Chain A
């Protein structure tokens, strides 16, 4: 009974997004496991994913059936912007470099390429209690890519087309918790996807089955630059409907384990991960279904402080300013906010930016700035610099993740 309850709890709290190759729809999801950016920040993620499928399943068991292998190479660009403290908008567009299959008996290969779909997500924070956050969201998936690609005089089947060919609607809710040491945060989300019938001039009347997604995961910061993420995602898909009848070899339940790693290099974060199907139950006894074997992805992420960067550029372009640089020790984003906060509020300072990698504080000003006094104020806030060493009580007052000594 306890095992059943624990399993239900995991399934309820977990959301996932994965695709069996048979009759798969639109863009695969390849996230980086990170939270939404802070207000006024724009996050850019460019990701490449490779997936292969060469095994058929009936129910929970691997089948001896052999017919074709499938694969894809997919590139996506995702931008995420937090407009207000509560509202975040994310847009994701994908391109299939190649989406193909090979027939085992004959060796014949065919493929498609092109834009997939555009996904737009609006996420709104309704609850924020100390370290907890609850964000309902809604994703609209728009079939912008081609759905009628022809390969060697044959109209390619649905699961080989780059686009899903139908509008899909995905409401859900996400939960976040940040732990007191700030090195760990956990998340969970759940959502349901409803699809319209495919819009095409072809003589088909096809509708993808509903998709129920659940995932739970955690991020852990190992060092200043290195972090890991582990996510468990469960996907349950109803059978697709074609001409009013259920497509027998479709639908099922797949549980993925997704470990990821990320590394900060200057202003970029390099991330990579693998998707491993740990459990499958494709409810198609008697009708073998091709299922994911393995997928991996690699990507880069960059955060832009959009408003601040624009203000900085505007200041530097429109004024005759003096720019000075100072060494200031520190460690994390919180240090950056604090150091820049002290500097930006100092008399006559126009803009100030501290770089996490080089520990250099760049200060631009029109009228003369008392540099010694500025460094003294920064040391009083707890940060050693090229002029002063912070007193012990000032250093001790820093948050645990900021302890750079």
Chain B
């Protein structure tokens, strides 16, 4: 009797825990999981104005089915491959100074972003 009551109690506790918990984020589905940016490599953190001295950036990320999006307030980013995981940043004359370039990596599970900085002199 005591063992049976204990089992019932445990089942009830589990059920209560399931009802009261917030719905957990699905972090994996098949081969796809929530994206992770391992790193962003930057060939140069200081570049000169003009098109002759660009910096090449490459994002290393995992998660499956990834989409890459780059953004900077002022400046020119040019994709170097089809999915834009490799891009070039040029020193536009309009934007001398330190620039913060954001890379957003997205898939069906969610998105993650990271910012790198490059200075145009």
Show the binding face of A for B, using Cβ within 8 Å.
22-23, 56, 65, 67-68, 103-106, 108, 110, 150, 152-155, 157-158, 202-206, 242-243, 245, 247-250, 287-289
Inter-chain contacts of B84 with A (CB < 8 A): 152-154
Q: Can you list the 3 inter-chain pairs with the closest CB atoms, starting with the nearest? A: A153-B84, A105-B51, A204-B73
Inter-chain contacts of B87 with A (CB < 8 A): 154
Please give me the residue from chain A that is nearest to B51 by CB atom. A105
Q: For chain B residues 52-80, which have a beta carbon within 8 Å of chain A?
A: 52, 67-79
Distance A277 CA – B95 CA, assembled complex (angstroms): 24
Inter-chain contacts of A204 with B (CB < 8 A): 73-74
A104 touches B94 (CB 8 A): no
Inter-chain contacts of A106 with B (CB < 8 A): 51, 78
Q: What are 30 residue pairs bridging A and B, where the CB atoms are less than 8 Å apart in the complex?
A: A67-B90, A67-B92, A68-B51, A68-B76, A103-B51, A103-B76, A103-B90, A104-B51, A106-B51, A106-B78, A108-B78, A110-B78, A150-B69, A153-B70, A153-B83, A154-B69, A154-B71, A154-B78, A154-B79, A154-B84, A154-B87, A155-B69, A155-B70, A157-B75, A202-B71, A202-B73, A204-B73, A243-B73, A287-B94, A289-B93
Distance A23 CA – B74 CA, assembled complex (angstroms): 9
Distance A203 CA – B79 CA, assembled complex (angstroms): 20
Distance A262 CA – B93 CA, assembled complex (angstroms): 40
Please give me the residue from chain B that is nearest to A206 by CB atom. B73
Distance A68 CA – B92 CA, assembled complex (angstroms): 9
Distance A287 CA – B94 CA, assembled complex (angstroms): 7
Name the prevailing secondary structure of the A interface residues: loop
B31 shortest CB reach to chain A, Å: 22
Inter-chain contacts of A205 with B (CB < 8 A): 73
Inter-chain contacts of B102 with A (CB < 8 A): 203
A248 shortest CB reach to chain B, Å: 5
A157 touches B74 (CB 8 A): yes
Q: For chain B residues 22-69, which have a beta carbon within 8 Å of chain A?
A: 50-52, 67-69
Inter-chain contacts of B92 with A (CB < 8 A): 67
A207 shortest CB reach to chain B, Å: 12
**Given A105-B51, A154-B87, A242-B74, is A67 in contact with B69 using a C-beta cutoff of 8 Å?**
no
Inter-chain contacts of B77 with A (CB < 8 A): 154
Inter-chain contacts of B100 with A (CB < 8 A): 203
B96 shortest CB reach to chain A, Å: 5
B78 touches A56 (CB 8 A): no
Inter-chain contacts of A105 with B (CB < 8 A): 51-52
Interface string of B90-121 (1 = CB under 8 A from A): 10111111001010000000000000000000
A158 touches B74 (CB 8 A): yes
Distance A206 CA – B93 CA, assembled complex (angstroms): 17
